Amino acid sequence: MSSLGGPFWTAGASTNDFVDLSVPAWAWIALIGFIALLLLVDITVVHRKAHEVHIREAAVESAVWVSIGLAFTLVVLVAFGAGAAGEYVSGYLIEKSLSVDNVFVWALILSYFGIPARYQHRVLFWGIFGALAMRAIFIFAGVALIERFDWILYVFGGFLVYTALKLVLGGGDEIDPASSRFLRLINRLVPSTPEFDGQKMFTVRNGRRLATPLFAVLILIEFTDVLFAVDSVPAVLAVSREQFIVFSSNAFAILGLRALYFLLADAHARFTYLKEGLAIILAFVGVKMLIHGWYHIPTWVSLVVIAIVLAGAIGLSLRSPAGDEVRGH
């Protein structure tokens, strides 16, 4: 029986003020199996045929994905207790908010390479697999580093504060697909064709197996996700050190990114204060890491701050002249 009230497996308060769980293998198998089931239903039922995803469909799918992500809070609450549930929600909100920038970068890449709207979901679907795998690697490596070298928290915290300042003062680094050395390297290493063949990543031309533009774009999207993971994973580790909570919160936030992309891809101008909001969140979690040796900011405080900043950034954006102009079109 958990000291936090979780009846299924043991959990307890850790010495570093975060929940400390003992998660059995079957729980991990169940989590990964559920995620795989969701993806299977999405690709074989909802998006079996290539089609353009319109705003109405994207809004419904976004609501479903968000509902699933938030509903998992109840699973964490029943199994691990209120402390773990608070860490899960905090991690989910952080990852979801930081992922919005990822969505706009996707829009830039897909638009630049002229990927037809009916094929975009398939590219992003396979991109999710890579994103989940890379986040898992980052998460387990990050937790292992923290457990072995406590001082790494100061490095993570300083990096997040630096990133926040760069967002506000320098505007961040814009990703230009045209000047991507990474993409040019892919085209050199993998024989490619500029022609599409439906939703296929590879096609056969004159007896040669060639990569279509969808493959190159998929690799570039995976590369950009690595860059975003460098920010988001340390940020989530500021509110939880338990791998199961960090991975599940990341996974459920990422699963809904495709629907969020089709909902928000053309609305970048509307979110005029999003960058400032994300900078505040990054700075807050960075400071939380930097002062952890002297004071631990409670999880509920982190959750309240993140929720208020997100609501404020969205509210101010929608009330701004730019937001009114976008809505008027």
- For residue 55, pLDDT over 70 is answered with yes
pLDDT over 70 at 104, yes or no: yes
d(CA 88, CA 70): 9
187 with 216: CB under 8 angstroms? yes
pLDDT at 4 over 80: no
Using CA atoms, how far residue 119 sits from 144, 156, 234, 265, in Å, is 39, 37, 33, 15
- The pLDDT value recorded for residue 130 is 81
Specify the pTM: 0.75
Say how far apart CA 264 and CA 104 lie, in whole Å.
8
Tokens for 139? Answer: 């998460």
Instruction: Supply 269's token pair.
Output: 């101008």
Distance separating alpha carbons of residues 11 and 191, to the nearest angstrom: 52
- pLDDT band (50, 70, 90) for residue 7: very low
Q: What are phi and psi of 51, to 5 degrees?
A: -155, 160
Q: Which two tokens stand for residue 25?
A: 């293998």
Q: For residue 251, what pLDDT band results from cuts at 50, 70 and 90?
A: very high
> What pLDDT band is residue 203 in, cutting at 50, 70 and 90?
confident
Residue 182: predicted pLDDT: 61
Contact between 268 and 107 under an 8 Å Cβ cutoff? The reply is yes
Interatomic CA distance for residues 4 and 18, integer angstroms: 12
Between 104 and 214, whose confidence is greater? 214
Q: What is the CA radius of gyration of the chain?
A: 20
With both helix axes pointing from N to C terminus, report the angle between 55-80 and 82-112 in degrees, rounded to the nearest 10: 150
Q: Which helix (H) or strand (E) holds 202?
A: strand 202-205
Residue 138 near residue 229 (C-beta atoms within 8 A): yes
